[in-house]
């Protein structure tokens, strides 16, 4: 008698669990070309709404990471119109979210470098103004340990004295587009290396002198030490400089102005 009640209880629990599970994501996600165990989870967290796999999202990176602390990735979604947001993820990093780009008045393009904890898909979702997420990615093999190793800066006693030191270039490439390449000193601590609390650059904003936002990037822990970003803001003929504002998780703020260099070279 008791066992029958127990059985009924178990069946009820299973049924309830199943119904909750089914209700959790009513979308039918496209099959993941990278066959990642994290696909359902990450799509649920980062790509709400319609999701399509789209080869027009070009994700360029090495097949094999030579340095897992500095894995170079370039995303080019300029083949899509009306891009409002670009989200980059490393599926198998302990912290998967790499960055989000809002290309307000910029091409749907970004170059960056990422720390990899192990071989992982690098997945990029590009949201267009109709709310659809266009997703593509690559698989990068790596030796591992990128996120839990201390930054090289911690081998230098006075690393904080060079915090925010910047090298940058803003160069016109076409009549209405320029390339911004910037590299800032920052340890980008993930909080996962023993004894080193989380400390990273989390915001980069690019504006015109009139104050119009051209591009905004939210950065997260996996971005490599000394973050190096490449963006392509749209520039009108009369725009001859731009302003960059950056901030880190300790509210240190960095501002600089860059003139447009008039070399067109492709």
- Determine the interface stretch with another protein among 67-75, 79-87, 91-99, 126-134 (rule: CB under 8 A): 67-75
Among 41, 45, 66, 129, binds another protein (CB under 8 A): 66
Q: Are 199 and 187 in contact (CB under 8 A)?
A: yes
The residues with which 179 forms a beta bridge, in sequence order, are: 171
Contact 216, 102 (CB under 8 A): yes
Question: How many Cα atoms sit within 13 Å of 191 on the Cβ side?
Answer: 8
Q: Minimum CB separation from another protein for residue 245, in Å? A: 10
The number of residues that bind another protein (CB under 8 A) is 34
- The interface with another protein within residues 191-250 (CB under 8 A) comprises 226, 228, 230
Cα gap 182→245, rounded to integer Å: 12
> Contact region for another protein (CB under 8 A) — 9-17, 78-86, 124-132, 178-186?
178-186
- In 3D space, the residue among 209, 55, 180 whose CA is nearest the CA of residue 106 turns out to be 180
Q: In sequence order, what DSSP letters do the residues of 46-106 get, joined into one string?
A: H--S-EEE-TTSEEE--SB-S-TT-EEEEEE-TTSSSEEEEEEEETTSSS-EEEEEE-TTE
Strands lying side by side in the sheet with 120-128: 51-53, 133-140, 120-128, 83-90, 97-102, 213-219, 201-207, 241-248, 253-259
Backbone angles phi, psi at 232, to 5 degrees: -130, 80
61 near another protein, rule: CB under 8 A: yes
Q: Interface with another protein includes 72 (CB under 8 A)? A: yes
Query: Rounded to whole angstroms, what are the CA distances from 259 to 103, 162, 178, 184, 263?
Result: 20, 23, 11, 17, 12
Of the listed pieces 42-50, 55-63, 128-136, 194-202, which binds another protein according to CB under 8 A?
Answer: 55-63
- Check residue 94 for interaction with another protein (CB under 8 A): no
Q: Does 148 sit near another protein (CB under 8 A)?
A: no
* Binding test (CB under 8 A) with another protein, winner from 104, 181, 203, 249: 181
Q: Which is nearer to another protein, 37 or 143 (CB)?
A: 143
Residue from the set 167, 176, 236, 240 that interacts with another protein by CB under 8 A: 167
Compute the distance between CA of residue 193 and CA of residue 151 in angstroms, rounded to an integer: 9
Binding test (CB under 8 A) with another protein, winner from 30, 33, 62, 150: 62
CB of 66 to another protein, least distance (A): 4
The answer to the question of residue 150 lying near another protein (CB under 8 A) is: no
Q: Return the number of the residue (53 or 169) whose C-beta is nearest another protein.
A: 169
Binding site for another protein (CB under 8 A): 60-62, 66-67, 70, 72-74, 111, 113, 143, 164-169, 171, 179-183, 226, 228, 230, 254-258, 263, 265
């Amino acid at each position: 008698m008791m066992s029958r009640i127990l059985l009924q209880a178990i069946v009820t629990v299973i049924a309830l669990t199943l119904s909750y599970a089914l209700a959790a994501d009513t979308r039918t996600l496209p099959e993941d070309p990278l066959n990642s165990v994290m696909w359902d989870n990450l799509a649920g967290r980062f790509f709400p709404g319609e999701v399509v796999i789209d080869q027009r999202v070009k994700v360029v990176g090495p097949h094999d990471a030579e340095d897992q602390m500095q894995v170079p990735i370039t995303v080019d979604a300029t083949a899509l119109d009306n891009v409002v947001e670009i989200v980059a993820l490393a599926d198998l990093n302990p912290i998967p979210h790499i960055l989000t780009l809002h290309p307000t008045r910029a091409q749907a393009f970004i170059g960056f470098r990422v720390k990899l904890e192990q071989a992982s898909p690098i997945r990029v979702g590009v949201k267009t103004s109709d709310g659809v997420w266009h997703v593509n990615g690559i698989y990068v093999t790596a030796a591992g340990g990128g996120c839990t190793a201390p930054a090289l800066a911690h081998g230098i006693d006075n690393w904080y004295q060079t915090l925010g030191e910047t090298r940058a270039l803003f160069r016109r490439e076409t009549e209405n587009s320029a390339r911004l390449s910037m590299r800032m000193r920052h340890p980008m601590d993930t909080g996962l290396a023993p004894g080193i609390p989380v400390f990273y650059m989390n915001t980069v904003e690019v504006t015109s002198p009139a104050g119009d936002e051209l591009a905004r990037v939210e950065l997260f822990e996996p971005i490599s030490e000394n973050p190096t970003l490449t963006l392509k803001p749209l520039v009108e003929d009369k725009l001859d400089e731009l302003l960059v504002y950056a901030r880190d998780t300790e509210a240190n703020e960095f501002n600089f102005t860059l003139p447009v260099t008039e070399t067109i070279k492709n």
